[in-house]
Structure 1
Amino acid sequence: MAARFRPDPTFYPSPTMAMQAPPEQLAYVVLLDPTGKQRPDAMAVVDLDPASKSFAQVVGQLDMPNIGDELHHFGWNACSACLCPYAPHPHVERRYLVVPGINSSRIYILDTQPDPKRPHIVRTIEPDEVFRKTGYASPHTTHCGPEGIYVSALGAPDGGGPGGIFMLDHETFDIRGRWEIDRGPQELHYDFWWHLGHDTLISSEWGTPSMVRNGLDAEALLAGKYGHALHIWDLRRRKHLERLELGAEQQMVLELRPAHNPTRPWGFVGVVVSLKDLSASIWLWFLENGKWQIKKVIEIPAEPADPALLPPLLKGFGAVPPLVTDINLSLDDKTLYVSCWGTGEFLQYDVSDPHNPKKTGSVHLGGIVRKAAHPSRPDLELGGGPQMVEISRDGRRVYFTNSLYAPWDAQFYPAGFDGWMVKLDIPEGGKGMTLDPNFFLQFEPGLRGHQIRLQGGDASSDSYCYP
C-alpha cells in the first residue's frame, strides 16, 4: 500500500533536479485534419529512443471519435507543481492528457496507462458542458497547477469575448467553473502562466473565436484589434492587477515562457507581427522595485521577397514576415528558442542575461518563400515552417512541428503542405544546434502535427516551487 502514496517519480521540486531526469522515450503529438471535414484529428505517439528500431517513427495513434475538433495545446493532468507546499497533491500521477478542441470546444481526457504507446479516451467533456459551466468557448491551452488543471479559452459561445480561464479537477476532470473573480479590463485571451514564488499569473492576448476561426482578419489586423498587451493577476485571489501595454502596432501577443526558477520574476513573450514593418519581436516582462514592467529585447525583421512568390495576403507588402508563433525556454533559463513560421527560420538565443539576449544559432526548414529542405531529404521542398517547439528536460534535444492552425495554414501556405516533425541536437553549454539527419518524421498524408508533449515532462509542462 505504501507505494501508492509516493510522489510520481516524474515530479521534481526544482528545475535543476528535473534536468537530471532520464531522457524522454516517447512524444505525444496532436495530428490535425486541415480540412476539418474529412477525418478525425488524432494523437500520435512518436518513438524518441535512438537505440530503438522504430526511432523517429509513429508507434501508436489514437483517432478521435469526432470530426472538426482542431485539437490544440494539450497538457498533463498533473506535474511538478503538485509538490508545492501550499497545495500539495503528491499522490496524483502524471498519467492523463487533457486535450482541447479549439473549434469544437470539446475536451478529451486520454489515459496513457497501462501502455503509453496506446493512449485511450476515458472521458469526453462535450461543448454544451463547457458552455454551461464556464460561459467560455474555444478552449486553447491547458496547464497543470498546484490546485488543479487550468484551461484558457478564447471567448464566449457566441464567438465574442471575453476570453479567460476555467478549471478542471485533476482527479475527476469535472469542470469547477471560471477561474476569475475580478477580471478588470481584460477582454482578449490566449496563453497564461505564473510565477508561483510571487503568487502572480500572467496572461496574453490573441483574439476572440470569431476573429481567428476563419483565418487572419486583415481588416481587424490593420485596425490594431488583435491582442497587444499582457495582464498581471493575483494568482491566489484570482484578481486582475494591471495591464502592460505593448502598443497597438504590436499585434498578437502569444506564447508566454516565464523563468522556471521561482525566485526569478521575469519571462519572455512572442509578438507575431508589427504593423509598422512586419517584423516580429520578443519582449521581456520583469519585476523591478515592486513594479511589473515590459520591454522589447529581440526584433526579427521581415525579409524582402518577390510578390509573385507570396500568398495573396502578403503580395502588397513585398516581404515575408517572420511570424513568431511559438517560443520556448530551457529549464536552466539560459536558452530561448524562437519559431519563425513565415520565414522558416528557427532561432536560438543565449538569455543568461534576459535583458540582453545574444543570438547563438539558426537553422532553416520550410518557409513561405524559402521552402528549405531537411538534410535527410535535400530533394524535398518543405511547406509550413518551424512552429510548435518542445525542449527536453536536460536541454540537449529540441523538437518541432510545422502547422499553426488550419485556416491560418491555408492563408499563408495556400498550396498546402504535408505535416512533419524534426529533432535538433544541442551541445553541452547550450550554444548552437544541429538538425538530426536521422530524425525527419513525415506524418500520414492528410494530417499535420501541432503541439508536442514529452513523456515524463518537458520544458513547458511543469512549474516548480523551489529554485
Structure 2
Amino acid sequence: MTLRPDPTFYPSAKLAMEGPVETLAFTLMLSPDGSQPDGLAVVDVDPNSKTYGQILHSLFMPNKGDEFHHFGWNACSSALSPLTGHAFLERRYLIIPGIRSSRIYIIDVKEPLKASIHKIIEPEELFEKTGYSRPHTIHCGPEGIYVSTLGGAGKDGTDGPPGIFIMDCETFEILGRYEMDRGAQDKHYDFWWNLPRDYMVSSEWGLPPQFENGIVPEDLLSNKYGHSIHFWDLRGRKCTQTIDLGENHQMALEIRPAHDPAKQYGFCGVVVDTTNLQGAIFTWWRNEDGTFEAKKTATIDPQPADADDLPELLKGFGAVPPLVTDIDLSLDDKYLYVACWGTGEMLQFDVSDPMNPMLAGKVELGGIVKKNPHPNGKAFGYGPQMVEISRDGKRVYWTNSLYSTWDDQFYPGERGAAMVMAECGENGGLTLAKDFWVDFPEGYRSHQIRLEGGDCSTDSFCYPSA
C-alpha cells in the first residue's frame, strides 16, 4: 500500500490521456503445442531508446500447457471510486490466467526488468471455490479483481455454466462467484461496466468443447455459439436483461463501453454472420427508463477467394470472412479499432456518433489470402488480433495469434509471433511504423498486450471527463 493514490490512476479518461507516454509494454507469449512454458515479455516501446522494439526481459513460468491468453492488472483507475476502500493500492501486479490449465499467476512487475512470480493459484483452488474453469478476462474493480471464465465444472467444463469470480486485490485469495442471479446467461466471454451507473455488460463465445480443439464447423453452421449480450445490476450481482443479437451473429465477443461514464453506450464485436460471412459491430445503449437496446451499426464484408487459396475449413465458402476477433476504443471515445483476423485488416472507425461508425483508416497486414507483408519486408503471420491503444490515442499496437488450435485451422503451418505498431493521424488515419517490429523466441506465439501505466482496455474511470 502507498501513502497516496498511484500516479497511474486517473479520475477521468481525459486526464489519463494527458498522462506520461508509455515506454514499456508487457506481452504474453504462449507455446502452442505446450512443449515449452508460457511467458511474459517486457518490450521497449520508447522510440528514443537504442533497444526500441526489443524484448528487454522475459519471464517464463514453471509449468507447461497453460496457454496464456488474456491478462490484466491488480488495480487501476477504478480504485478511485468513491465507494472503494482501496484508493491507495499500487498498479504493481499482473494477473495472468492459463486458459487451458485453469492456473493463475500473479506477477510482480514493480521493477519490470526484474519481473517475478509473486504467487501461483493452482486450478484445484479455482474449482473448489467457484466451480468454474478456463479463466479468461481480468478487470480490476473498486473492491476486488473480477475474472471471467469460459468453463464450468467437470473435466470438459460443461458441468454448470461459466461466469465471473472475484479475487481479493491485496492477498489474491479467491473469494467466490460473482453471480447471485444469472438469468438467461449460460455462456461467457467478456465483461465490462459503467461504475457510477452501476451496471455491467457481458458477452458470449462458447463452451470449452466448442473452442479448445478448434472451431466446430457443425456448431457454427447451426448457430450454436454465443450470440447474446447480458446486462447486470453490478452491485446487486443480478442479470437484469438479455439481448439476443440474432442467432446468425455468431460469437459476440469484446465489450467496449464508452470510457466517459457520463455516456451510456458501448460496442460489441461479432466474429461472423453465418448468413453472409460479414463481421459486425453492434452499438448498445441505455434508455432513460434503465432498459437497454442494441443495433448493428457497422459491417465488414468478406473477401472473395479461390478455394485453392483457402484452408480446408473455408474451401466450401469461396471467400475469406473478416473474423472480427478484437475491438478497442480510444480513451476519448472517438475511434474504435477493429481487428479483422481473417482478411488481415486493422480498421479504424470514427465513432463520434456511436450510431453511425465511419471508416477513418485502415492497415492491411497478413491475412489468409492476401498475406500482406510489413513495410519492413517481413512476413506477418496470421492476421491482426489483440489490439491495444496508447492512452493518448496516438499509437495502436497489435499481435497476431488468436488461439492455438484456431490458428492452426485458419492458418495451417507455423507462422511465427509478431507485435507491430501503427501511428494514428491527428484527424484519423493509420500508418504502420516501419521501425517497430518485435521478434519473439522461436516456437512461441504472441497474444495480449498491456501498456505501462494502463491502456484503453484496462482502466475504468469513475468521474466524467470535463
Please say whether Structure 1 and Structure 2 have the same fold, judged by a TM-score greater than 0.5: yes
**Offset, 1:156:** 1.3
Out of 41, 53, 56, the position equivalent to 1:44 is 41
Shift of 1:396: 0.5
Q: How does 1:331-410 map to 2 (within 5 A)?
A: 331-377=331-377, 380-410=378-408
Query: How does the TM-score come out when normalised to structure 2?
Result: 0.97
RMSD: 1.0
Partner of 2:405, secondary structure, is helix
SS of 2:196's partner is helix
Residues of 2 paired with 1:118 and 1:398: CA distance?
A: 26
Q: What's the secondary structure of 2:107's corresponding residue?
A: strand
1:212 partner amino acid: F
Alpha-carbon separation, structure 2, partners of 1:370 and 1:140: 31
Distance 1:414 1:450 in 2: 18
**2:72 and 2:94 in contact (8 A); partners too:** yes
Give the drift of 1:184: 1.1
**Counterpart amino acid of 1:389?**
V
CA offsets 1:42-96 (integer angstroms, 9 cap, x no match)? 1000001111110000000001111110011100000000000011411100000
Matches within 5 A, 1:215-234: 215-234=214-233
Report deviation, 1:308.
0.3
1:428 match: 426
Inter-partner Cα distance in structure 2 for 1:404 and 1:337: 16
Tell me the equivalent position of 1:80: 77
Match of 1:419 in 2: 417
Q: Residue 117 of structure 1 corresponds to which residue in structure 2?
A: 113
Q: Is the 8 A contact 1:5 1:90 kept in 2?
A: no
Output one character per residue of 1:269-317: Cα deviation in whole Å (capped at 9) or x when no partner. 1000111011110000001232200000110011100100100000000
Alpha-carbon contact 2:204-2:226 (below 8 Å) kept: yes
| Aligned residue identity for 2:272 | V
Which residue does 1:245 correspond to in 2?
A: 244
Instruction: Tell me if 1:452 matches 2:443.
Output: no
5 Å matches for 1:149-164?
149-158=145-154, 159-160=157-158, 161-164=160-163
The 2-side partners of 1:278 and 1:218 are apart by: 13
Post-superposition Cα deviations, 1:348-371, rounded to whole Å, max 9, x if no partner, equal 011001001110101111100111
Cα distance, 1:35 vs structure 2: 1.1
1:363 and 1:427 map into 2 onto residues whose CA distance is 13
Identity %: 57
Q: In structure 1, what is the equivalent of residue 288 of structure 2?
A: 289
| Conservation of the 8 A alpha-carbon contact between 2:2 and 2:89 | no
Q: Distance in 2 between matches of 1:13 and 1:432?
A: 29
**1:34 is matched by which residue type in structure 2?**
P
Q: Find the residue that maps to 1:356 and give its secondary structure.
A: coil
Counterpart residue number, 1:61: 58
Code of the aligned partner of 2:100: N
DSSP-derived class of the 2:124 partner: helix
Counterpart of 2:166 in structure 1: which amino acid?
M
Give the stretch that moved more between structures: 398-407 or 414-423. 414-423
Whether contact under 8 Å (1:199, 1:236) holds in the other structure is yes
Letter in 2 for 1:420: A
Whichever residue aligns with residue 430 of structure 2, its letter is: M
Q: Which amino acid aligns with 1:103?
A: R
**Contact 1:233/1:239 (<8 A) preserved:** yes
Cross-structure match for 2:134? 138
Moved over 3 A (4+): none
- Amino acid of the structure 2 residue aligned with 1:321: P
Query: What is the DSSP-based 3-state SS (H/G/I as helix, E as strand, rest coil) of the residue aligned with 1:198?
Result: coil
Q: How far apart are the structure 2 equivalents of 1:4 and 1:264?
A: 32
Q: Distance in 1 between matches of 2:235 and 2:315?
A: 48
SS in 1 for 2:381: coil
Question: Structure 1 length normalisation: TM-score?
Answer: 0.97
Distance 1:274 1:356 in 2: 19
For the residues of structure 1 that align with 2:311 and 2:425, how far apart are their CA atoms? 37
- Aligned mates of 1:218, 1:69 — CA distance in 2: 25
Q: For 1:161-200, what aligned pairs fall within 5 Å after superposition?
A: 161-200=160-199
